[in-house]
Amino acid sequence: MTAQTPLDRNRALRLGGVLVGVAVALGACMHADEAVTIASVPDDYRLRHPIAIHEADQSVVIFVGQGRGGLSASQRNDVIGLAQTWLREGTGAISADLPVNTPNARTAADTLRDVQALLASAGVPPRGLLVRRYRPDDPRQMAAIRLSYPRISAVAGPCGTWPEDLGPSIKNKGYFDNKPYFNFGCAYQRNVAAMVDNPSDLVQPRPETPAYTARRTAAFEKYRKGTSTATTYSEADKAKLSDAGR
């Protein structure tokens, strides 16, 4: 058996130190990667699929034929409805895209005049409507008048993202930990964003409206006299009240 010299022992110690350092470095890298991967996918669906507030277009399409201009009854209702919502929630001017150099260009121009008259009668000022002319790229597509305006809206998604398997798999780290899959809750968040009337309600509450002073004064006066503050309904109104839960 050959005895080790001091030089061999020093080399062995240096080699062992290098191996230990490499192992520690690799372990630290693997730990960092695992922490980042876990932290990048929150368990709460509201954090995975947050509802964002941004500006989007609200539009109405008016199809125009070649033989007759003007608006039908349903189209008039669409234009009046768009004008009313624009007065309440619009953040910019209404844009009217008018087709040109198309078979129905003349009737579309006549229809646009009816649209302008309806918007003006609903309270839209002249500077609130901008007319833009366009020519469809596809000649087979029917050219139509498109009315649009920007508004603040809420949106979530997109949904349908499946980065991992749903069943037991070595690639699905959340299955054995009983964690929700990535797409869970996305449709719910998207539906809530689409149904909310005022997107600012998702961020902050609305201010309280003033109290009804007349009713409050009458109730306080009855309380001061010691009489009942309940409202008395007539016999005709009693039939309108629901008896559910009694």
Per-domain boundaries in the chain: 34-51+156-203, 55-154
Q: Are 154 and 51 in contact (CB under 8 A)?
A: yes
User: Bridge-partner residues for 147, per DSSP?
Assistant: 60, 96
Q: Work out the pLDDT band at 33, boundaries 50, 70, 90.
A: very low
- 192, 154, 178: which is closest to 58 by C-alpha? 154
What letter represents residue 25's amino acid?
A
Burial class of residue 64, CB neighbours in 10 A (0-12, 13-18, 19+)? buried
Give the model confidence (pLDDT) of 149-201 as tens digits.
999 999 998 898 888 777 777 766 666 677 788 899 999 999 999 898 888 88
* CB count in 10 Å sphere of residue 7: 8
Q: In Å, how far are 26, 113, 144, 237 from 109, measured between CA atoms?
A: 71, 7, 11, 54
- The pLDDT value recorded for residue 59 is 93
Whether the CB-CB separation of 149 and 93 falls below 8 Å is answered with: yes
Class level of CATH domain 55-154: alpha beta
Q: Which tokens go with 52?
A: 């964002």
* More reliable by pLDDT, 90 or 33: 90
Please write the tens of the pLDDT for every residue from 122-131: 999 999 999 9
Which of 148, 144, 122, 147 lies closest to 135 in space, CA to CA?
144
Mean pLDDT in residue range 201-219 = 87
pLDDT at 9: 60
Is 94:124 a contact under the CB 8 Å cutoff? yes
Q: The whole model's pTM is what? A: 0.58
Q: What pLDDT, on a 0 to 100 scale, did the predictor assign at position 178? A: 76
- Output the DSSP codes for 115-158: HHHHHHHTT--GGGEEEEEE--S-TTSPPEEEEEEEEEEEE---
Rg of the chain on CA atoms, in Å: 34
Q: Three-state DSSP class for 13?
A: helix
